[in-house]
Amino acid sequence: MSAVTPTAASGSTEPSSFSGPDDQGSGGAVDKVYGFLRRIPTGLLWLIVLVWLIPTLGLFINSFRDRTAQRESGWWTTTPDDLTFQNYQDIFNAQAGLGQSLLNTAAIAIPATIIPIAIAAFAAYGFAWIDFRGRKPLFIFTVSLLAIPLQVALIPLLQMFNNGASYTLPGLDKTIVLVPDFDLAGTTTAAWLTHTGFAMPFAIFLLHNYISSLPKDVFEAARIDGADHFTIFYRLVLPLSIPVLAAFAIFQFLWTWNDFLIVNTMIGANPDAQPTTILIANLAGDFGRNEFILPSAAFVQAFIPIVVFFALQRYFVRGLLAGSVKG
């Protein structure tokens, strides 16, 4: 990554890039062999990158080919003359409605990224730096929720969003309403809540690991300077946790953007809120008649997380703590 700011030269030495013997000045057979050997790992990495990129490249090229071309020959036989923008025009037209579905996905994915970060950052700070009774068991319990598979909770959650939740006391014939019926079925709110709930254990775990490793003395200095927990959180913890917040935001955005299972369960029945993943699944049509427009739709769908990744990766700044404490 090229995102290391020049101010962050905190003594963490960058491994010098693999280079041949030519910049060493002295020649000699040993140097040549050594230089060649040093190139092997880099070369291997490039090879892996290429192999991994081939399917994406195929998808990209196919997205510009018409139905017949896709059916009759492989993407590697394409010549520039065969390429057409017709597929892209088709998926964005009013009938297919990819544009609207992208907005729907954004309306799900962006809050479903921000809400868990906001909650988890507070929780992680609390677990890391506020001394309260039962802190450790509660933290272990929270993190152990990572083990709960998403699938087992989908139907109960859907029922709760549909009808609320209530419990009838045995023998007393009295019903207690645990969760009122907010009529959330088919709304994006249901998707936000579900995504938030399932992101929470991992988010708290990840942010806690980072936040608890911030130097204690800095917080003590802030306490003496007159800061309470909220001030410490906003003025110190948040600015110093930007790398981990960005990392989690990328994970969570990718997951919510590409999610099919949760949105299909929670809002699949509501065509107005339909996100791109569901749209694409339906785009192929009966018997796969419209299969040929899938590559272009998939490419559009995949493109946005890439933009988000590159936008956020500059926050992976090393050496953010440089100069705070010695050691």
Partner 1 sequence: MATVELDKVNKVYENGYHAIHDLDISIADQEFLVLVGPSGCGKSTALRMIAGLETISTGTMKIGDRIVNDVEPKDRDIAMVFQNYALYPHMSVYDNIGFALKLSKVPKDEIDTRVRKAASTLELDTYLDRKPGQLSGGQRQRVAMGRAIVRQPAAFLMDEPLSNLDAKLRVQMRAEIAALQRELAVTTVYVTHDQIEAMTMGDRVAVLKDGYLQQVDTPQNLYDRPDNVFVAAFIGSPSMNLYEASLRVSEAGGQISLGGQTIALSPSSLDARPALRGYDGKTVILGVRPEDFEDAELATDIPESQFLDSAPTLLEALGSEVMVHFKLDAPVVDSGDPDAVEDTNAEANAVGRFNPRTRVRVGQAMKVGVTSENLHFFDADTREAIWQ
Smaller CB separation from partner 1, 247 or 267 = 247
Smaller CB separation from partner 1, 138 or 227 = 227
Nearest approach in angstroms of CB 7 to partner 1 is 6
Tokens (6 digits) for 11: 């003594």
Tokens (6 digits) for 325: 């404490």
Buried b / exposed e across 67-91, counting CB within 10 Å, b at 16+?
A: eebbeeeebeebeeeeeeeebbebb
Q: How many CB atoms lie within 10 A of CB 252?
A: 23
Smaller CB separation from partner 1, 183 or 217 = 217
Nearest approach in angstroms of CB 80 to partner 1 is 50
Nearest approach in angstroms of CB 224 to partner 1 is 5
Nearest approach in angstroms of CB 6 to partner 1 is 10
* Cα gap 275→270, rounded to integer Å: 10
Nearest approach in angstroms of CB 247 to partner 1 is 18
Smaller CB separation from partner 1, 162 or 324 = 324
Smaller CB separation from partner 1, 183 or 220 = 220
Nearest approach in angstroms of CB 288 to partner 1 is 54
Cα separation values, 315 from 58, 122, 234, 312, Å:
31, 20, 18, 6
Smaller CB separation from partner 1, 5 or 282 = 5
DSSP 178: E
Binding residues for partner 1, rule: CB under 8 A, are: 7-8, 10, 215, 217-218, 220-228, 231, 235-236, 239-240, 319-327
177 beta partners: 166
Tokens (6 digits) for 97: 């409605």
DSSP 169: E
Sequence length of the chain is 327
- Collapsing DSSP states into helix, strand and coil, what is residue 175? strand
Smaller CB separation from partner 1, 71 or 235 = 235
Contact 166, 222 (CB under 8 A): no
* Cα gap 287→140, rounded to integer Å: 49
Nearest approach in angstroms of CB 129 to partner 1 is 13
* Cα gap 142→148, rounded to integer Å: 11
Contact 239, 319 (CB under 8 A): no
